[in-house]
């Protein structure tokens, strides 16, 4: 490959298929890696908690984007699948006495299977109708969790002992950061890989035109079910991590609101963009935290603001989604792309 002033010239297909081509791109990647590694050493414990939440949200949202953004199957059931992951990992660890890594892995697979099952309506339904069907799966799962006392403990929370490695106990956010970060990176990279191979392309083919996809030999039924399974697998992993990170599992954490938060993350970030999902997760998790922080700081000047904060958060949440849908439906990923182009072409407009 040669990057010259006339453009980037590839000498082999392998070099063209690489994700980073120019030295500028590689340099930027190094900067990002350094920044991410530095985070736990420079930020306060409060923001480290937020960072861990972002890491988990990235995993779940990447899963949802695989389904909604890449395969075109709308899902309002991500909260339910997070619940399946959290509960199965907690139960496998607490009652089944399995080591935590193994129970997380098994929870991921369990959620994938259950997700594939709840994806069956997608074989018949599209668009809004599918959204309602997945809404039903969300409610069915939470109903089962609340009422299946023998397995899930019903409305009571399951508390999970802290993860240990030898004599080392993962107690603080600082420890968990180093658990969640690599898993999140792995999730992002593998999702990115998926969509540069034939399998990922068949997902996108189903999204763009299912009849043409079947005429190309894509088994649409199998592809949709597989997309649900993969997507739910990511959700299950995120749910399982939530369970062990917080040390407690309750159904209240996985309501429809959670599903909508994940949908908001991928809309704000950019449907059909893995990088966008990361930006979206950072944005949508940081925003409420930021509002809370600002509210607390203004407590002195504006007394009584604290109790209004939840309302402010809801309004801002709604406003952000509406503004994105109007001004940049392709999300933060597109904004970032435009910004890069602007810098690249400066001082010319295009």
Partner 1 sequence: MITRSYRHPLNSSRLEPGEPLLEVSDIRLRFGGITALDEVSLTVRQGTVHAVIGPNGAGKSSLLNCISGLYRPQDGTIVVHTPAGAHDLTRKKPHRIARLGVARSFQNIELFRHLTVLENLMLGRHIHMRNRLTRSLVWFGPARRQEIAHRELVEEVIDLLQIQSVRHKPVGALAYGFQKRVELGRALCMQPALLLLDEPMAGMNAEEKEDMARFVLDAHELAGVTAVLIEHDMNVVMDISDRVSVLDFGRLIADGAPEQVSNDPDVAKAYLGEEVRA
| Residues binding partner 1 (CB under 8 A) | 13-14, 17, 190-191, 193-194, 196-202, 204-205, 207-209, 211-220, 226, 230, 272
Q: For residues 189 and 339, which CB has a smaller minimum distance to partner 1 in the complex?
A: 189
Q: Least distance to partner 1 from the beta carbon of 220, Å?
A: 7
Q: For residues 107 and 205, which CB has a smaller minimum distance to partner 1 in the complex?
A: 205
Q: Least distance to partner 1 from the beta carbon of 112, Å?
A: 10
DSSP element (H, E) containing 249: strand 248-249
Q: Least distance to partner 1 from the beta carbon of 189, Å?
A: 8
The neighbouring-strand residues paired with 7 are: 4
Measured in degrees and rounded to the nearest 5, phi and psi for residue 211 equal -70, -45
Q: Least distance to partner 1 from the beta carbon of 12, Å?
A: 8
DSSP element (H, E) containing 265: helix 256-269
Q: Least distance to partner 1 from the beta carbon of 209, Å?
A: 5
Tokens of 290: 């930021």
Q: For residues 200 and 288, which CB has a smaller minimum distance to partner 1 in the complex?
A: 200
| 3-state secondary structure at position 2 | strand
The C-alpha atoms of residue 180 and residue 157 are separated, in whole angstroms, by 23
Q: For residues 167 and 344, which CB has a smaller minimum distance to partner 1 in the complex?
A: 344
Q: For residues 195 and 336, which CB has a smaller minimum distance to partner 1 in the complex?
A: 195
Q: Which residues contact 170 (CB under 8 A, 6 or more apart)?
A: 162, 163, 164, 176, 179
Q: Least distance to partner 1 from the beta carbon of 13, Å?
A: 5
Tokens of 111: 């959620």
Q: For residues 185 and 220, which CB has a smaller minimum distance to partner 1 in the complex?
A: 220
- Reference 45, options 289, 306, 297, 266; nearest CA is 289
Q: Which residues contact 342 (CB under 8 A, 6 or more apart)?
A: none
Q: Least distance to partner 1 from the beta carbon of 11, Å?
A: 13
Please report how the helices 173-194 and 45-65 are oriented relative to each other, as an axis angle in degrees rounded to 10. 20
The neighbouring-strand residues paired with 288 are: none
Q: For residues 187 and 278, which CB has a smaller minimum distance to partner 1 in the complex?
A: 187
Q: For residues 82 and 213, which CB has a smaller minimum distance to partner 1 in the complex?
A: 213
Q: Are 180 and 187 in contact (CB under 8 A)?
A: no
| 3-state secondary structure at position 74 | coil
Q: Least distance to partner 1 from the beta carbon of 205, Å?
A: 5
Alpha-carbon dihedral angle through residues 240, 245, 250, 256, given to the nearest 10 degrees: -70
Q: What's the half-sphere exposure (Cβ side, CA atoms, 13 Å) at 219? A: 6
Q: Least distance to partner 1 from the beta carbon of 78, Å?
A: 20
The neighbouring-strand residues paired with 8 are: 3
Q: For residues 13 and 350, which CB has a smaller minimum distance to partner 1 in the complex?
A: 13
Tokens of 231: 């997507």
């Amino acid at each position: 490959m040669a990057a010259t002033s006339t453009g980037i010239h590839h000498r082999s297909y392998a070099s063209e298929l690489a994700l980073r081509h120019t030295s500028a791109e590689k340099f930027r990647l190094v900067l990002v890696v350094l920044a991410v590694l530095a985070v736990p050493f420079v930020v306060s414990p409060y923001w480290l908690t937020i960072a861990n939440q972002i890491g988990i949200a990235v995993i779940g949202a990447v899963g949802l984007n695989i389904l909604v953004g890449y395969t075109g199957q709308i899902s309002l059931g991500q909260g339910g699948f997070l619940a399946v992951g959290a509960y199965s990992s907690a139960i496998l660890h607490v009652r089944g006495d399995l080591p935590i890594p193994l129970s997380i892995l098994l929870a991921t697979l369990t959620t994938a299977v259950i997700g594939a099952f709840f994806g069956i309506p997608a074989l018949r339904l599209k668009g809004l109708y599918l959204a309602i069907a997945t809404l039903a799966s969300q409610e069915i799962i939470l109903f089962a969790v609340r009422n299946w006392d023998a397995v899930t403990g019903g409305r009571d929370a399951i508390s999970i002992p802290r993860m240990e490695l030898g004599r080392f106990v993962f107690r603080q956010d600082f420890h968990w950061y180093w658990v969640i970060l690599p898993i999140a990176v792995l999730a992002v990279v593998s999702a990115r890989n998926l969509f540069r191979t034939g399998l990922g392309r068949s997902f996108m083919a189903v999204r763009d035109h299912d009849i043409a996809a079947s005429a190309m030999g894509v088994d649409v039924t199998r592809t949709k079910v597989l997309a649900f399974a993969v997507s739910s697998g990511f959700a299950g992993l995120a749910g399982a991590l939530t369970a062990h990170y917080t040390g407690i599992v309750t159904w209240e954490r996985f309501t429809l609101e959670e599903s909508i938060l994940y949908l908001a993350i991928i809309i704000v970030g950019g449907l059909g963009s893995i990088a966008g999902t990361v930006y979206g997760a950072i944005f949508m998790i940081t925003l409420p935290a930021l509002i809370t922080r600002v509210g607390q700081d203004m407590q002195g000047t504006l007394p009584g603001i604290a109790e209004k904060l939840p309302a402010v958060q809801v309004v801002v949440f709604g406003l952000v989604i509406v503004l994105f849908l109007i001004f940049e439906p392709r999300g933060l990923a597109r904004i970032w792309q435009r910004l890069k182009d602007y810098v690249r072409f400066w001082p010319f407009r295009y």
